[in-house]
């Protein structure tokens, strides 16, 4: 059928095509995970460490690490900070070390 | 055994006199010298507020040391001495040489990759990023009407 592909066929890359539900990888778990109902499309978050080309996340830098934890001391998930998987692994190791040496809190102080 | 790099941080009570802290440091230095260890750095970070209470204290005197050694069992000895010392309330030893090796390797890869690729002035080419040898002209995006209907 020669006329089947009348619409220009875009290659559906990581951004996600139009008719695909869920809104792409960024918003996959965003709006509650209901298929077909997208309330918003999250803009693409970049990993801060990949942009700066960081090869080692230092556990002694509490000011940097402190941006990735809640006030209660819990580590923020990747979908909130936009970190890539590799850096999230390194980050969590560094955060736990910093927590052990009292540079970062484990939980909320009463 | 290959050479290892350790980071050692310990925290003293905030009201310990400077002389006692120096005494602890010199004890560690002696123990390290017995095992042919090179102490790269000793830093006193001074009184810092801790993120949570340790032994009912809110502040502590932080001391940071960096060691290079081939004798891994030295760490146990140092930690034992820190455990026994009265003013020390917390300590942490981290082994860093593997991480530094990985960091150096990544850096090398990145530099090598950057040097190999010919500097393309234009952005926006579909970055299926293999093969450094320059492709001339048409990078096919696949959206051409290449279907030949016979």
Q: Which residue of B has its CA nearest to A101?
A: B92
- Chain A segment 57-76 residues within 8 A of B by beta carbon are 59-60, 62
Residue A62 with chain B: CB contacts under 8 Å: 51
pLDDT reported for residue A38: 58
For chain B, domain boundaries? 4-100
Mutation target for B interface from A11, A55, A62, A104: give the one with most B CBs within 10 A: A55
Q: B6-65, pLDDT tens digit by residue?
A: 999 999 999 999 999 999 999 999 999 998 898 999 999 999 999 999 999 999 999 999
pLDDT of B112-146, one tens digit each? 988 887 765 544 444 444 444 544 444 444 444 54
Q: Which residue of A has its CA nearest to B128?
A: A13
Contacts with A101 from chain B: Cβ below 8 Å = 9, 11, 90, 92
- CATH of B4-100, picked from 3.50.50.60, 1.10.150.390, 1.20.120.720, 3.30.70.60, is 3.30.70.60
Contact flag A59-B64 (C-beta cutoff 8 Å): no
Nearest chain B Cα distance for residue A23, angstroms: 22
- Residue numbers in A near B147 (CB within 8 A): 2, 5
**Dist CA A35 CA A52 (whole Å):** 35
CA dihedral (B119, B120, B124, B125) positive or negative:
negative
pLDDT of residue B141: 46
Below-50 pLDDT ranges, chain A: 10-33
- Kindly give, in sequence order, each residue whose CB lies less than 8 Å from that of residue B41, ignoring residues fewer than 6 positions away: B64, B65, B66
Phi/psi for B3 (5° steps) reads -80, 140
- The pLDDT assigned to A31 comes to 47
Task: State the nearest Cα–Cα gap between B34 and chain A, in angstroms.
Answer: 27
Separation CA A18–CA A71 (nearest Å): 38
Of B52, B99, B106, the CB nearest to A102: B52
The pair of structure tokens assigned to A88 is: 């999230």
Write down the pTM of the prediction: 0.69
pLDDT at B35: 87
């Amino acid at each position: 059928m020669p006329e089947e592909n009348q619409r220009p066929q875009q290659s559906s890359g990581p951004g996600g095509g139009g008719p695909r539900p869920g809104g792409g990888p960024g918003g996959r778990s965003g709006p509650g995970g209901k298929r077909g109902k997208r309330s918003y499309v999250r803009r693409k978050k970049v990993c801060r460490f990949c942009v700066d080309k960081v090869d080692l996340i230092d556990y002694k830098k509490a000011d940097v690490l402190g941006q990735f934890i809640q006030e209660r001391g819990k580590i923020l998930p990747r979908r909130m900070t936009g970190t890539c998987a590799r850096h999230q692994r390194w980050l969590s190791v560094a955060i736990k070390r910093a927590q052990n040496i009292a540079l970062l809190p484990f939980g909320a102080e009463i | 055994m290959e050479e290892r790099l350790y980071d050692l941080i310990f925290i003293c009570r905030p009201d310990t006199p400077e002389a006692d802290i120096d005494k602890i440091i010199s004890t560690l230095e002696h123990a390290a010298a017995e095992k042919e260890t090179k102490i790269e750095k000793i830093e006193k970070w001074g009184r810092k507020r801790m993120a949570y209470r340790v032994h009912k204290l809110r502040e502590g005197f932080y001391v940071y040391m960096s060691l290079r050694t081939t004798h891994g069992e030295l760490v146990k000895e140092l930690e034992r001495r820190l455990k026994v010392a009265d003013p020390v309330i917390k300590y942490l030893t981290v082994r860093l040489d593997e991480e530094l090796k990985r960091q150096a390797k990544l850096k090398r890869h990145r530099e090598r990759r950057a040097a190999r690729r010919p500097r393309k002035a234009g952005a926006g080419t579909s970055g299926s990023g293999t093969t450094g040898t320059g492709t001339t002209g048409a990078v096919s995006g696949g959206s051409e009407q290449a279907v030949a209907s016979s």
